[in-house]
Amino acid sequence: YCSLNPRWVGRQLAAAKSSSHRWKRVESRTIRSRQMSEDRKMEDNFEKIRVVGRGAFGVCWLCKKRGDETGEKVIIKMIPLHGLSQKEENEIKGEADLLRKMQHPMIIGYYDYFTCEGSIAIVMQYAEGGTLENLIRDQRGLHLSEANVLKYFTQILLGLEYMHSLSIVHRDLKTQNILLNRKRTLIKLSDFGVSKQLNTRSVASTLIGTPNYLSPEMVEGRTYNQKSDIWALGCVLYELFMLRRAFDGENLPAIVMKITKQQYAPLGNHVSKESRDLVSKILSGNENTRPTVKDILTCPLILSYTLTVVLDTGRIMGNAADKRRAPFDRAGLRSRTGSDSISGSASSTMATGLRMQNIMASQSTRSTSFSTASTVAAATVRKG
């Protein structure tokens, strides 16, 4: 960290690694005394290109790493520390902890964080393809093929399955927070600023999220858990099929009423009966009857797409691995995920392939040829 006191840096890194540690409030005089060296670190390593987003906590900049021949860009989320309460500082720490913990092909990559200009700067992967919302808008009313919709949906499922395995609820899953790679073939879940990590016995009751994607239990003020993410997932699937939101209205009360009564326009004739039935099950007003991520992944409609997605993802991740790591090595910055992140992503992909192989083998109604194909696919994942 350039000219920063090494002992101070060591203490901060040690604190960040401890899940039980609470960040101490940064005193304004401390920020002022170190701001010159911190600003040089930012300017020495990154060139700001443009603002790409603004949120409740801060500004997101598209940046380019200086001295990087590949020209790879990153997103730097600048979160001001001045005036924040202890709770808000802890939430910022929570987002950084979540990003560091989650290493999966369908989760946005996390590289580094540091203090700069009186803010915490979080360095993240840049998704060149924009958001799923951008993709839907670019269709200009031309429906996506059902196969493409279900491939996107399966990727989202796999990312969400990984989150839920860590007892993490996203709480703001929507098309704006689902990013795409340059070719728009691979999705990345993002924006975990309002996520909540739950232990096995806890539920959350804070009303957080975009109104159009809120579940009935959330708008009614009841407790909720991962099943609220499933509801939002159903809203995203509907939107992919119909190119419009399932629950929309002129104002918030109108939207809330439609959500509580599960009032949404029927899916069009271009959507198969199997997909219509799946949307209906996911958008169940009773969270107890709503399927889990694993339930959806093992249903016949989605099962047939999962191995294809796993293989495609493994190939894309393999090609991108060296490119992601090398620029940070050259810049002298240590990616906090580093090679372990890439290995973790590959392991997650392989594990998913093997799990799907076992599920498919246990399906007595599936054909022998399909089971054979799953074995070959899983072997390919292992080689990758």
Q: How far is CA 198 from the centre of its chain?
A: 17
How many residues are present in the chain? 384
User: Looking at 68, 97, 172, 229, which residue is catalytic?
Assistant: 172
Q: Whole-angstrom distance between the N-terminal and C-terminal Cα of the chain?
A: 35
Please list, in sequence order, all residues whose beta carbon lies within 8 angstroms of the beta carbon of residue 118, skipping any fewer than 6 positions away.
31, 35, 80, 81, 82
Asked about 172 being catalytic, the answer comes back as yes
| Residue 78: CB atoms within 10 Å | 19
Q: Which residues of 157-183 are buried (b: 16+ CB within 10 A; e: fewer)?
A: bbbbbbbbeeebbbbbbbbbbbbbbee
Does 77 appear as a known binding residue?
A: yes
Contact 161, 294 (CB under 8 A): yes
| Residue 5: CB atoms within 10 Å | 11
Rounded to whole angstroms, how far apart are CA atoms 258 and 263?
5
Binding residues for ATP: 77
Q: Which residues are catalytic?
A: 172
